[in-house]
Amino acid sequence: MAAAFDNLHSRLVFWLKIILPLLALAVLSTLFLFSRQLEVESMLPYAEIDLQDMARDQRMSGAEFTGMTRDGAALRVSARVARPGADGGATAQGLVAAYDTPAGLHVELSAADGVLDRAGGLLSLSGGVEIVTSSGFTMTTGGLVSRLDQTKMATDGAVSGTAPFGTLTAGGMEMDGTGPADTGHVLVFNRGVRLIYDPKN
């Protein structure tokens, strides 16, 4: 009788050694499975919102447009962020436009905001515009409209800044036409020009 009891006890211990670790593995697997499901489900609403926002707000980072004007100047327009507009145009933030004329004049425009109108051939800058030329002018204005097919631009308000011969303010500024032979273009200040001449320059 004792031998039969020992035999039953041994068999029970043998099976328990196999069954208990398997049960432990099954419990652990179930815990990991439910934990992973909860994590994925909690992330899904955020993922859906991000995708919806991206679909509504189409934009490009580091966008760039290059071209050549009729008067032979190389034009490059870059933006930190650009959003597609009508007729192949775009609205942009952090915009920089640069003209390099055949005569060697470099004009760089930078603004907080801008609209590239390819159909109308215009680049409209706003939100504070800085104009820097290789001939020594550094001017600021509220807004400016520049052409994409010519090296031609005009401010929509007052300008102020420094020139090679001093500091000046004016009601407006334009760049157009043929200027001195070394630049091919001339800056025209109008509507109440005030110049403070610096003889050192």
- Is residue 114 within 8 Å of 95, Cβ to Cβ? yes
**Paired tokens of 138:** 């550094």
Burial of 31 (0-12, 13-18, 19+ CB in 10 A): exposed
Q: Looking at 11-15, 77-81, 121-125, which range is the least confident one?
A: 11-15
Q: What mean pLDDT comes out for the span 176-189?
A: 71
CB–CB of 49/78 below 8 Å? no
100, 124 contact by CB (below 8 A): no
What's the mean per-residue pLDDT of the chain? Answer: 81
Q: Indicate left, alpha or beta for 166 from its phi (over 0: left) and psi (-120 to 50: alpha).
A: left
Segment 162-190 shows an average pLDDT of 83
**Structure tokens that stand for 96 in this block:** 């920089």
Please give the residue that has the higher pLDDT: either 44 or 125: 125
Query: Do residues 123 and 114 lie in contact, with contact meaning Cβ atoms separated by under 8 Å?
Result: yes
What percentage of the chain exceeds 90 in pLDDT?
42
Q: Domain ranges in the chain?
A: 1-57, 60-197
Instruction: Using the predicted structure, report yes or no on whether residue 175 has a pLDDT greater than 60.
Output: yes
DSSP string, 74-86: EEEEEEEEEEE-G
Contact 132, 159 (CB under 8 A): no
CA distances from 197 to 59, 169, 201 (A): 46, 12, 8
Assigned CATH topology for domain 60-197? lipopolysaccharide transport protein A fold (2.60.450)
The per-residue pLDDT for 44 is 45
pLDDT tens by residue, 37-49? 444 445 545 445 4
CA distances for 89 relative to 69, 72, 82, angstroms: 17, 22, 10
Collapse the DSSP code of 48 into the 3-class scheme (helix H, G, I; strand E, B; otherwise coil) and give the result. helix
